[in-house]
Amino acid sequence: MSVSAIHPHEHQSGLAVETPPYVTVVLPCYNEQDHVVLELERITAAMDASGYSYELLVIDDKSTDSTLSVLRDVAPKYPNMRLMPFRRNGGSGTARRIGTQEARGKIVVWTDADMTYPNERIPEFVQYLDENPDVDQVVGARTTEEGTHKWARVPAKWLIRMIAQRLSGMKIPDLNSGLRAFRRDVSLPYLRLLPPGFSCVTTITMAFLSNQHPVDYLPIDYAKRSGTSKFHPFRDARRYILQVLRMVMYFDPIKVLMPVALWIMGLGFAKLIADVIRYDLRVTTSTLLAILVGFQIVVLALIGDLVARSRSDT
């Protein structure tokens, strides 16, 4: 295992200077009072045994239960834990964005505190990035779906994943897994794109893929969550789909708009031929409108592509 920055301090000119940790585990918490300590124990045990230097950045997203007081009570037991309480609820995406911005590690790990993900495998994800320097993100691909509202989650996630694969041109085993590790410096230009809710994990995946940052996947088990799910099947599915479209539009608008434009123009020209034959060289208004709309979408796609390519962060 490649281990970086194992020693917590080094001496320079007689002064102790703290060495930044190699890994930052960002752990958003919202109403997790009954099991958050078990999750802390599992993560710290795995990271302590790994030999990697790390910090556990725990973000309380303005919980309405006793999560924050529980975290404060146990904080002395976890010297690598850094507690960041929010003054108002910002959503898991906001917590992950701010946590990544505040992270001191070169490798950032995102996971959840609801006992669903195998967080004892976090060192394996870090090691994968160490052993594969050409990979910028590694995602835990769930082999089962154990979440609440399973009847809605499974078809919705399948549809969203198919849309994302079609638009990105890449195979995506799991688009919205909450367990992933990535290189912090690569992620920084895209953090401002993260939405406040669950679709932030979709966004970071699409942002990497759309900008030629390699993303690999490791199969993981997925357990039934502890506590109450915050997932809303219809509202969040809609947000996932819109976020996938936004990301591809942001980075590669031609891939989204050009097929639509060509279909509309193709139908318009086909109707033009039919009109000429049927109406003795006369053309209907709807035919001209279809051709004009298709042409306008082509122009919009080209302008969007020019804007996307002119941005300094891409």
Third-level CATH fold of 23-251 = Spore Coat Polysaccharide Biosynthesis Protein SpsA; Chain A (3.90.550)
Residue count of the chain:
314
Rounded average pLDDT over 47-66: 97
Give the model's pLDDT for residue 243.
Answer: 66
Tokens describing residue 63: 């919980």
Contact call for residues 58 and 29 (beta carbons, < 8 A)? yes
Mean pLDDT, rounded, for 4-29: 67
How are beta strands 9-12 and 15-18 bridged, if at all?
antiparallel
Between helices 233-251 and 150-168, what is the axis angle to 10°? 10
- For the cut 70, the answer to whether the pLDDT of residue 234 exceeds it is no
Q: Tell me which amino acid residue 126 is.
A: V
Distance CA 182, CA 106 (A): 9
Binning pLDDT at 50, 70 and 90, where does residue 97 land? very high
Q: Domain segments of the chain: what residues?
A: 23-251, 253-313
The region that residue 280 occupies, defined by phi over 0 for left and psi between -120 and 50 for alpha, beta otherwise, is: left
Return the residue matching tokens 């990979």. 135
Per-residue pLDDT at 15 exceeds 90:
no
**What are the structure tokens assigned to 89, written together?**
């609820």
Name 76's Cβ contacts closer than 8 Å, sequence gap at least 6. none
Alpha-carbon span 184 to 188, nearest angstrom: 6
Rounded CA gap, 305 and 205, in Å? 20
pLDDT in tens, 212-222: 899 999 999 99
Q: How confident is the model at residue 4 (pLDDT cuts 50, 70, 90)?
A: very low
User: 27 with 86: CB under 8 angstroms?
Assistant: no
List helix spans (H) across the chain: 36-50, 67-74, 92-102, 122-131, 150-168, 184-187, 200-210, 233-251, 253-278, 285-310
How does strand 180-183 pair with strand 137-142? antiparallel
| Tens of pLDDT, residues 153-171 | 667 677 777 877 877 788 8
3-state secondary structure of 300: helix
pTM for the full predicted model: 0.78
Instruction: Identify the pLDDT of residue 159.
Output: 74
Helix (H, G, I), strand (E, B) or coil at 310: helix
92: amino acid identity, one letter:
S
Token pair 């529980």: residue: 70
Q: How far apart are CA 103 and CA 23, in angstroms?
A: 9
